[in-house]
Amino acid sequence: MKKLIALVALIMMLTIGAANIAVAQDDASETVQVEQNDQGLHKVVKNKFIEGGAIFMSFVLLCLILGLAFSIERIIYLGLASSNKKKLVAKVEDALENGGVESAKEVARNTRGPLASIFYQGLDRYDQGIEMVEKSVVSYGGVQMGRLEKGLSWIGLFIALAPMLGFMGTVIGMIGAFDNIQAAGNISATIVAGGIKVALITTVSGLIVAIILQVFYNLIVSMIDSQVNDMEDASISLLDMIVKHKAKNVDRVVVTH
């Protein structure tokens, strides 16, 4: 289900991006100049996209689309993976005291999220001793953390790649400006302005994409940190519950004898 949602989001973004590029290319041949103040935001962005050059601007736009797709997928996944730590700990503790280990495992099995999965792995090794339970919780906690961080490297790649593509467009725009100067044989503001304008537009576009993706990246990292803190805190609570439950069982055996 999560992969399906992410795939749909990616397809929608790619479709919208492709449509905007197509419209921009169709209007590139128009020579009518419209006053800047009379243009809407969409029109202004489209014109700047055309002026910046279709090749490099397309790559920058692709970084934005893919980066947003990965970001939205992570936000949806982390939202679905989050759970109420206090409520889960209370339910497992109550089930462990009243119904035993199997009852507590059933509660963990029927609860969604990494916390419940860690609880289940720990309770599943209840009979192997507290040390095995602790090792299991630590090991499976690392597995769950890896799942939470999945896709972050791609977002980081697009954050780094977008400005570099913009700077590459800047260098190429400046080279084009000097080529025009060389071809004209003299230095003219009109000749230089075109290349410099392309250079600045690609640079600004790359920086804007990086800033947008960086905001999403930091949001995702904060959500992951919150869930990791909950997992560590809940793991300690689980170990305490198991130790208390074992101690009660030992006391009952002693009293019985």
Residue 134 pLDDT > 90? no
pLDDT at position 35 is 43
CA angle 210-75-225, nearest 5°? 90
What is the tens place of the pLDDT at every residue in 39-57?
565 565 555 555 556 677 8
In this structure, of 11-20, 117-126, 141-150, 235-244, the range with the lowest mean pLDDT score is 11-20
Percent of the chain surpassing pLDDT 70: 71
Residue 249 pLDDT > 70? no
Token duo for residue 146: 């890896």
Other beta carbons within 10 angstroms of residue 236's beta carbon come to 12
Q: Tell me what the mean pLDDT of segment 139-157 comes to.
A: 89
The residue ranking higher by pLDDT, 239 or 245, is 239
pLDDT at position 70 is 94
Question: How many angstroms separate the CA atoms of 112 and 88, rounded?
Answer: 10
pLDDT at position 51 is 59
pLDDT at position 4 is 41
Q: Under DSSP, is residue 110 helix (H, G, I), strand (E, B) or coil?
A: coil
Distance of alpha carbon 15 from the chain centroid: 20
What is the tens place of the pLDDT at every residue in 10-43?
444 544 454 444 444 444 444 334 344 445 655 6
Supply the angle between the helices 189-256 and 41-52 in degrees, to the nearest 10: 110
Domain segments of the chain as ranges: 85-148+230-252
Q: Look at the pTM and tell me if it is higher than 0.75.
A: no
CB 166 within 8 A of CB 203: yes
pLDDT at position 26 is 44
DSSP of 31-79: -----GGGS-HHHHHHHHHHHH-HHHHHHHHHHHHHHHHHHHHHHHHHH
- Sorting pLDDT into bands at 50, 70 and 90, what band is 1? very low
Question: How many angstroms separate the CA atoms of 220 and 151, rounded?
Answer: 10
- Sorting pLDDT into bands at 50, 70 and 90, what band is 247? confident
- Sorting pLDDT into bands at 50, 70 and 90, what band is 90? confident
- Sorting pLDDT into bands at 50, 70 and 90, what band is 115? confident
pLDDT at position 24 is 44
pLDDT at position 47 is 59
